[in-house]
């Protein structure tokens, strides 16, 4: 049996960041895949650079700007002003919908404006959908916010907590909406972003430089955790005794590894969606040659969002990612994926991104499971209480999925760095 001070489950961006900042060489990372990165991986196929899913960096923290940007030459990454749109009734309007209703037809604009002035706000909202109606009125909600988020989350929005998206939801008060009609000045947390020319994997590679070969085990996963004796039983038949346990795998999966029946019971109650991602490479450029990504609220289109790698990297061939949301219980069989690829190509033509002259040169299909977690009031409180109890015994669950929350990659790195500094020698 091995003993280690810090046992880290998962070699994604959270686990690697923790290992980078812990002031100790006494740690072991256990990773079930053959390479590090989790969802932050890149595929370079011929002329195309594709991530596991769309990952774009903002680096508000000076520490991470120094660590990552300073590690790259200026010609190794691009800096872009975000250009995002919504495909609505056959044309593009600027995102977010609620601050750009003046771009709609006159009749729809009047509907949205009327409902906006007559919305019924409340001091306390019951759920996410209730909050949307209260803050934006019927028309804005039913034209975009409700159908789009139903496609994204693949669930009844009444099941989501009011703050399910936290600071990432583009709130806007009446004054901001009216002011934006004359001069667009909508600001968000990610108005500009950075992107490495060789993809998001570059960030993982920088983190890996600080990891010694003997401190990470690949193709291995944790089968069971004894919470009392603080032992982890691995798939390679090793047993690891630890002082601190740093979990970064999805919280529902982590709970199932424990010997606590209450935790295991909660695991099955946690809800989330799956996302089928298509990375597609075509033989030429689309007429959409400046957009970064576009949102699709219509239920007649199978995808909810598309992103344009070629417009970000300024390449001369259409390279994109497509995202399609599913309920967690949906089985994504080969037949379903093939069906969705065919439908995706038909819909890309329908919305004018490609036409019949475009040739699909290469593609990769990926399934994110989980993708977006569903945050509800009852289970969210239980998660917080369990994480507190675990922390009292030197066990911590962090990152987007370990914390079971909605956050950015930089948020995950900040959380991991702060914990490492707190627990470091």
3-state secondary structure 48-82: EEEECCCCCECCCCHHHHHHHHHHCCHHHEEEEEC
Let me know if residue 188 belongs to a domain: no
User: Do 384 and 364 reside in the same domain of the chain?
Assistant: no
User: Do 279 and 362 reside in the same domain of the chain?
Assistant: yes
CATH code, domain with 208? 3.50.50.60
Asked if residue 116 lies in contact with residue 108, where contact means CB atoms within 8 angstroms, the answer is no
Measured CA to CA, the distance from residue 91 to residue 100 in angstroms comes to: 13
Q: Residue 407's CB: how many other CB atoms inside 10 A?
A: 16
Asked if residue 46 lies in contact with residue 281, where contact means CB atoms within 8 angstroms, the answer is yes
User: Do 214 and 88 reside in the same domain of the chain?
Assistant: no
Let me know if residue 172 belongs to a domain: yes
Single pTM value for the model: 0.94
User: Do 70 and 123 reside in the same domain of the chain?
Assistant: no
Q: How confident is the prediction along the chain (425 residues), in pLDDT tens digits per residue?
A: 899 999 999 999 999 999 999 988 999 999 999 999 999 999 999 999 999 877 777 777 778 877 887 788 888 888 889 999 999 999 999 999 999 999 999 999 999 999 999 999 999 999 999 999 999 999 999 999 999 999 999 999 999 999 888 776 776 677 777 777 766 555 555 678 888 899 999 999 999 999 999 999 999 999 999 999 999 999 999 999 999 999 999 999 999 999 999 999 999 999 999 999 999 999 999 999 999 999 999 999 999 999 999 999 999 999 999 999 999 999 999 999 999 999 999 999 999 999 999 999 999 999 999 999 999 878 989 999 999 999 999 999 999 999 999 988 889 999 999 999 999 86
User: Do 115 and 248 reside in the same domain of the chain?
Assistant: no
Question: What are the residue ranges of helices labelled H in 240-318?
Answer: 251-257, 261-269, 309-313
User: Do 115 and 262 reside in the same domain of the chain?
Assistant: no
Q: Which of these, 378, 425, 383, lies nearest to 405 by C-alpha position? A: 383
Measured CA to CA, the distance from residue 286 to residue 407 in angstroms comes to: 32
Let me know if residue 14 belongs to a domain: yes
User: Do 151 and 222 reside in the same domain of the chain?
Assistant: no
Let me know if residue 89 belongs to a domain: yes
Measured CA to CA, the distance from residue 11 to residue 31 in angstroms comes to: 5
- Paired strand residues for 396: 246
Asked if residue 193 lies in contact with residue 58, where contact means CB atoms within 8 angstroms, the answer is yes
Q: Which tokens is 28 given?
A: 């072991």
Q: Is 378 exposed, middle or buried (0-12, 13-18, 19+ CB in 10 A)?
A: exposed
User: Do 363 and 381 reside in the same domain of the chain?
Assistant: no
Q: Show the domain range for 405.
A: 2-79+197-271+375-423
Let me know if residue 189 belongs to a domain: no
Query: If you search the block for the tokens 């930089």, which residue do you land on?
Result: 410
Q: Which tokens is 288 given?
A: 């959409």
Q: How many domains does the chain have?
A: 3
End position of a domain, from candidates 321, 340, 368: 368
Q: Which tokens is 152 given?
A: 């994204």
User: Do 361 and 296 reside in the same domain of the chain?
Assistant: yes
Side-chain-side CA neighbours of residue 295 (13 Å): 20
Measured CA to CA, the distance from residue 40 to residue 200 in angstroms comes to: 6
Q: Is 347 exposed, middle or buried (0-12, 13-18, 19+ CB in 10 A)?
A: buried
Looking at residue 34, its pLDDT comes to 96
Let me know if residue 412 belongs to a domain: yes
Measured CA to CA, the distance from residue 307 to residue 193 in angstroms comes to: 14
Measured CA to CA, the distance from residue 304 to residue 296 in angstroms comes to: 5
User: Do 241 and 381 reside in the same domain of the chain?
Assistant: yes
Measured CA to CA, the distance from residue 396 to residue 389 in angstroms comes to: 9
Looking at residue 17, its pLDDT comes to 96
End position of a domain, from candidates 353, 368, 383: 368
Work out whether the CA dihedral 376, 379, 384, 385 comes out positive or negative: positive
Looking at residue 248, its pLDDT comes to 98
Let me know if residue 187 belongs to a domain: no
User: Do 134 and 169 reside in the same domain of the chain?
Assistant: yes
Looking at residue 198, its pLDDT comes to 93
Let me know if residue 399 belongs to a domain: yes
Looking at residue 398, the DSSP 8-state letter turns out to be: -
User: Do 267 and 279 reside in the same domain of the chain?
Assistant: no
Q: Max Cα separation, the chain?
A: 72
CATH code, domain with 282? 3.30.70
End position of a domain, from candidates 147, 182, 217: 182
- Paired strand residues for 366: 277
Q: Which tokens is 83 given?
A: 């250009």
Asked if residue 85 lies in contact with residue 186, where contact means CB atoms within 8 angstroms, the answer is no
């Amino acid at each position: 049996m091995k003993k280690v001070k810090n046992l880290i489950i998962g070699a994604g961006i959270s686990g690697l960041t923790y290992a980078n900042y812990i002031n100790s060489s006494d740690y072991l990372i256990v990773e079930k895949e053959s390479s590090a990165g989790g969802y932050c991986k890149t595929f370079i196929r011929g002329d195309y650079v594709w991530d596991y899913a769309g990952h774009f960096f903002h680096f508000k923290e000076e520490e991470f700007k120094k660590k990552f940007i300073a590690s790259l030459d200026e010609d190794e990454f691009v800096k872009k002003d975000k250009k995002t749109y919504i495909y609505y009734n056959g044309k593009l309007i600027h995102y977010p919908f609620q601050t750009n209703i003046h771009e709609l037809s006159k009749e729809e604009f009047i509907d949205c404006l009327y409902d906006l002035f007559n919305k019924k706000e409340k001091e306390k909202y019951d759920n996410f959908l209730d909050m949307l109606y209260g803050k934006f009125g019927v028309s804005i909600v039913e034209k975009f916010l409700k159908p789009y988020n139903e496609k994204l989350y693949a669930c009844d929005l009444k099941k989501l907590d009011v703050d399910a998206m936290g600071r990432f939801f583009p709130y806007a008060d009446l004054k901001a909406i009216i002011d934006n009609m004359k001069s667009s000045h909508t600001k968000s947390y990610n108005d500009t972003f950075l992107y490495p020319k060789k993809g998001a994997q570059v960030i993982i590679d920088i983190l890996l430089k600080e990891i010694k070969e003997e401190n990470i085990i690949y193709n291995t996963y944790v089968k069971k955790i004894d919470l009392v004796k603080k032992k982890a039983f691995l798939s390679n038949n090793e047993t690891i005794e630890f002082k601190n346990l740093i979990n970064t795998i999805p919280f529902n999966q982590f709970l199932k590894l424990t010997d606590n029946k209450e935790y295991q019971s909660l695991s099955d109650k946690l809800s989330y969606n799956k996302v089928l991602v298509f990375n597609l490479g075509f033989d030429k450029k689309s007429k959409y040659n400046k957009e970064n990504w576009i949102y699709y609220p219509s239920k007649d289109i199978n995808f909810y969002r598309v992103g344009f790698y070629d417009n970000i990297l300024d390449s001369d061939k259409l390279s994109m990612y497509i995202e399609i949301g599913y309920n967690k219980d949906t089985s994504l069989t080969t037949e379903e994926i093939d069906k969705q690829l065919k439908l995706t190509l038909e819909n890309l033509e329908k919305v004018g991104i490609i036409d019949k002259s475009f040739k699909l040169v290469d593609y990769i299909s990926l399934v994110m499971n989980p993708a977006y977690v569903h945050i509800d009031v009852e289970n969210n409180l239980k998660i917080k209480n369990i994480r507190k109890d675990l922390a009292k015994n030197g066990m911590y669950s962090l990152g987007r999925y370990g914390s079971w929350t909605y956050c950015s990659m930089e948020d995950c790195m900040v959380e991991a760095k702060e914990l490492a500094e707190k627990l470091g020698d």
